[in-house]
Structure 1
Amino acid sequence: MAIKDLSLAAKTTISGFMAGINKSNVKGAGLEFSQYRSYQPGDDLRWLDWRMYARSDRYYIRESEIETSIAVRLVIDASASMKHRDGQFTKIEYARYVAACLGCLAHNQGDAVGLYVLQQQQVQALQPRKDPQHMARFYYQLEQIAPAGSFAAATQYKQLLTGETTRELLIVITDLYDRDGEIAQLLKTCSALRHEIIVLHLMGRNELEMDYSGYTALEDLETGEIVGISNRDAAGYRERMQQYLAAVRTQQLDQGIAYYLMPMNEPVDKALRDFLKQRNKIMR
């Protein structure tokens, strides 16, 4: 994350663990062998397996798994709570880096990449495309994100994210902080359209463990509300935090949404590698 050029940082990070984020189960003439099936009139003769014919005196078609190109929409929460700092980095800096890596990965495997930045004052939209010039705009827009206000209202993003009738992959990068259920409504709306949705939940280690030594009060970044804290609160806080995270995970899974907690003290390359491994297990 010390590399300021997002494009270079993303390429550096994903180097060495290139793994598809949308591997398809469609059968066809791909590279990875899947199964044999009996020849049917009209099948492409190029995919006949002559070795199987020599052994069995029957015609078999060799099928493989192929990868399909899809639209990957990266949705970034740019509300003021994303200015929260844990150590050297803020949530929005971590989110930028994660989005840059996933966008680079998707582009490299032929997917169209789009970017949507949601906040109260405005919604920025970069519709999914595949060309290299588009990726330059993608990285530029990521670098320009300036968190402010609360999360966007449904009237601002609904047409942008729900207009497509084809299934897409939506990756929502957020801290899930809202006061009136705005983020929950976004996820519910997109889920109803049968899009595949992944929520990457960013949390600072100091948030998870209530590690604010030296402080006696905290300010809500979106409302300005001041909350007093003390060391005596820590044990009860951690227990409530675990209950909250369990409830959030259950809520997302009940809607068919994949949920991944990303603590900000975890290196981005490790977090993404673990995320991709888990997703590949689910897709199999």
Structure 2
Amino acid sequence: MSSRPLLDPKVLTAIKDLSLVARTVIDGFMAGLNRSQVKGTGLEFSQYRSYQPGDDLRWLDWKMYARSDRYYIRESEMETSISVRFLIDASNSMNHQDSGLSKMDYARYLAAALAYLSFMQGDATGLYVFQDGQLFSLPSRKDPQHLSRIFYQLENIQPAGQFTNEVHYKQLFTGERRKELLIFITDMYQQRQEITTLLNSLAALQHEIIVFHLMGRNELEMNFSGYTTLQDLETGETTPLNNAQMKKAYTAKLQAYLAATRMQLLEQNIFYRLVEMDQPLDKALRDFLNQRQKSLI
């Protein structure tokens, strides 16, 4: 069976338990993952030992599994756990839907899968939700009960209001470690450059940062057949949909905006990935593993 259906967000909507969603996604991802793509570099091999829950999945030896039908870990002398913080945009624009799937649904599934993968690798995980001008936070920990709290909070997010205005980001995200991995899941919709302010502050702290920019296919192609007017979910402003010329202008402006956004973030050493909501989660999971490895260096 192909692993890709297990990574399809539309398939995942049938699963109501978010912890089960996370396990389903990671099981499908690991089933299709080539071992060479998650192998660490520059580490001295020490010994084999039996797999234990919470071990770093990057060091599973698949050849040993094929020979013995048991999981073994290749141990090294380097500490492989880090702190991973998930930053979730839960402003009202995340209620935007494409083919029955909302941006918040996609963000929920992606964050849950990444949190589960982080936990399985022994990482401490934290959750920060930017919603209706406020900021909810769960500091990073690595115990199973904490992971359950993260799943619970993700399940119960109801997008509302606008993105949170600037708070004391420097004090909040300084942390105890030299570097952390920050995963920001957002649609990049902002009224007063509040998202830009957040990313500027985080970049100044020299953390590894991944921005997953969620957009629906209907947004990318301006395909809103059957509608004559669009309404801004955060301001209430309306825009008429009138002709093909408008669609052409929209497409040109959108491509210029996406290119400028990507360049601006890359200049700050922030990894940027445009995520189309009709695509499986595997690309985002691979991006996470690659960036996580950089955080260990």
> Which bin holds the TM-score, normalised by the shorter protein?
0.7 to 0.9
Report the residue type matching 1:231 in the other structure: N
Quote the residue 2:156 is aligned against.
144
What letter is aligned with 1:249?
R
Deviations 1:175-225 (A, max 9, x none): 000011111111110110101000000001111000011111111111111
Equivalent in the alignment of 1:249 = 262
Separation in structure 2 between the aligned mates of residue 110 and residue 9 of structure 1, nearest angstrom: 20
In structure 2, how many angstroms separate the alpha carbons of the residues matched to 1:219 and 1:30?
59
The residue that corresponds to 1:15 in the other structure is 27
Please say if residues 208 and 291 of structure 2, whose CA atoms lie closer than 8 Å, have aligned partners that are also in contact: no
Higher mean displacement: 66-75 or 106-115: 66-75
1:184 is matched with 196
In structure 1, list runs of 5 or more residues that go unmatched.
Answer: 33-62
Q: Which residues of 2 match residues 124-139 of structure 1 at below 5 A?
A: 124-139=136-151
Residue aligned with 1:179, SS: coil
Equivalences, count:
253
**TM-fit CA distance, 1:242:** 1.1
Cα RMSD of the aligned pairs, angstroms, is 2.8
Counterpart for residue 238 of structure 1 = 251
Residue of structure 2 aligned with 1:93, choices 87, 105, 129: 105
2:275 pairs, out of 262, 265, 270, with 262
Alpha-carbon distance in structure 1 between the residues aligned to 2:247 and 2:294: 35
- Partner of 1:214: helix, strand, or coil? coil
Task: Look up the equivalent residue of 1:266 and give its one-letter code.
Answer: Q
Q: CA deviation at 1:84?
A: 0.6
Q: CA 1:282/1:208 → structure 2, altered by over 3 Å: closer, same or farther?
A: farther
Does the alignment pair 1:103 with 2:120? no
SS at match of 2:192: coil
Distance 1:70 1:281 in 2: 10
Q: 1:71 aligns with which of 73, 76, 83?
A: 83
Q: 1:112 aligns with which of 112, 124, 134?
A: 124
TM-score of the superposed pair, with normalisation by structure 1 = 0.80
- TM-score of the aligned structures, taking structure 2 as reference length: 0.77
Letter aligned with residue 118 of structure 1? F
Note the alpha carbon deviations across 1:121-160, whole angstroms, 9 max, x for none.
Answer: 4211111111111111110010111111111111265532
Residues 224-263 of structure 1 deviation map (CA, whole Å, 9 limit, x = unaligned): 1111122321122112211111111101100000001100
Q: Displacement, 1:4? A: 1.2
> Could you report, residue by residue, the CA deviation over 1:12-60 in whole angstroms, capped at 9, with x for unpaired residues?
111143479998666445569xxxxxxxxxxxxxxxxxxxxxxxxxxxx
Give unpaired runs (5+ residues) of structure 2: 1-11, 49-74
Secondary structure in 2 matching 1:128: strand
Q: Is the 8 A contact 2:114 2:285 kept in 1?
A: no
Q: Is the 8 A contact 2:38 2:289 kept in 1?
A: no
Question: Identity percentage over the alignment?
Answer: 51
Distance 1:9 1:226, change over 3 A: same
Matches within 5 A, 1:199-210: 199-210=211-222
Work out which of the two has the higher radius of gyration on C-alpha atoms and give 1 or 2.
Answer: 1
The alpha carbon displacement at 1:102 in A equals 0.3
8 Å CA contact 2:169, 2:202 repeated in 1: no
Kept after mapping to 2: 8 A contact 1:24/1:67? no
CA contact (8 A) 2:170 2:205 kept: no
Alpha-carbon distance between aligned partners in 2 of 1:282 and 1:234, rounded to the nearest angstrom: 40
1:219 to 218, 226, 231: 231
CA distance in 1, matches of 2:142, 2:119: 7
